[in-house]
Amino acid sequence: MHSRTLGRSGAVVAAQTLGTMTFGNEADESTSHRIIEAYLDAGGNFLDTADVYSRGTSERIIGKWLAANPKDAERLVITTKGRFPMGDDANDYGASRRHLSRALDASLQRLGVERIDLYQVHAWDALTPLEETLRFLDDAISAGKIDAFGLSNYTGWQITKAALAAEHRGWAPPVTLQVQYSLLVRGIEHEVVPAVLDQGIGLLPWSPLAGGWLTGKYRREEAPTGASRLGENPERGMEAWSLRKDDERNWAVIDAVREGAERLGCSPAQLALAWLDRQPGVTSTIIGARSVEQLQANVAALDVDVDEETLQHLTEISRPQAEVYPYGELAIKQRHRDLTP
């Protein structure tokens, strides 16, 4: 598995991150531990979790594995997140110093570690002054509790504001942004991607298969069924099946991914992951798994030899249809400096 640096930091991480939202929910403890080991065997080294994943269970499962495998644990780069509620107290959520301080300490305890490689603010908090959040994160780095920090689910202006505020104060800058990104969800290319490229922030895409829609299991006029997330619960994914089935752009993308995969001899999921791995700014794609077999199939996407024609076709057919000023054609021309007076 190839590797990249974590944004502008010196840490090196695998091109695929093991997402652990399934731990304690769709995968029990023993299965979760086998998934970690299979991921390491494939050459991975980057684990993503959050305090709210199964209400702390994901972190505890990881912590038990780390304690039982100290030598292998040294190879891992671990990231977790804080921001969302873990209790009912009025101060038990948000990006305030009070909440993040307690959330970070609780994550350290559940993981059984003295420091976390990357700590991410799970979402923007409009009620807390940005400087309060950034100062806490800088202090956490100085205290040796975290090595670096990142953001998650931020908009373009929020990313730029945070990066420039940290630079102005002489505080540590954000090094990553964890955000939804896939062939079906490309809205971040309007402003978020330019913002992270401008600031040297690494992208960590989540839901790279769009909640299962890019796995090739679903077809027009056929409601999802069977042992899959959408089959078990059609409301899963980005939108309900009743809304998705009439979206021609999305079905055109799904069909193109399926056809391209058949031509290349890989699975649709592998092709969708291979496309995402090649997008500007992407540091490491977060892949989740409910089983070792599912993990191994997703990891194999990095070995898919995709020709430029196929990549370009997928890029063109999945381009968002909405041309909202000042995005769309104007933005494309601005990037290439071909606007005329």
Q: How far apart are CA 286 and CA 329, in angstroms?
A: 30
Residue 253, amino acid: V
Helix 57-68 crosses helix 29-41 at what angle (to 10 degrees)?
60
CA count, 13 A, side-chain hemisphere, 234? 11
Cα 26 to Cα 22, 53, 58, 98, 188, distances in angstroms: 5, 11, 11, 32, 29
Cα 142 to Cα 10, 120, 138, 241, distances in angstroms: 17, 16, 6, 48
Query: 175: which DSSP letter?
Result: -
Residue 325 bears catalytic tag: no
Please, is 24 exposed, middle or buried when counting C-beta atoms within 10 Å of its C-beta (0-12, 13-18, 19+)?
buried
105 sits in which H/E element: helix 97-111
User: For residues 60 and 110, is the Cβ–Cβ distance under 8 A?
Assistant: yes
The gap from C-alpha 169 to its chain's centroid, in whole angstroms, comes to 28
Which of these is catalytic: 53, 119, 181, 218? 53
**Catalytic positions:** 53
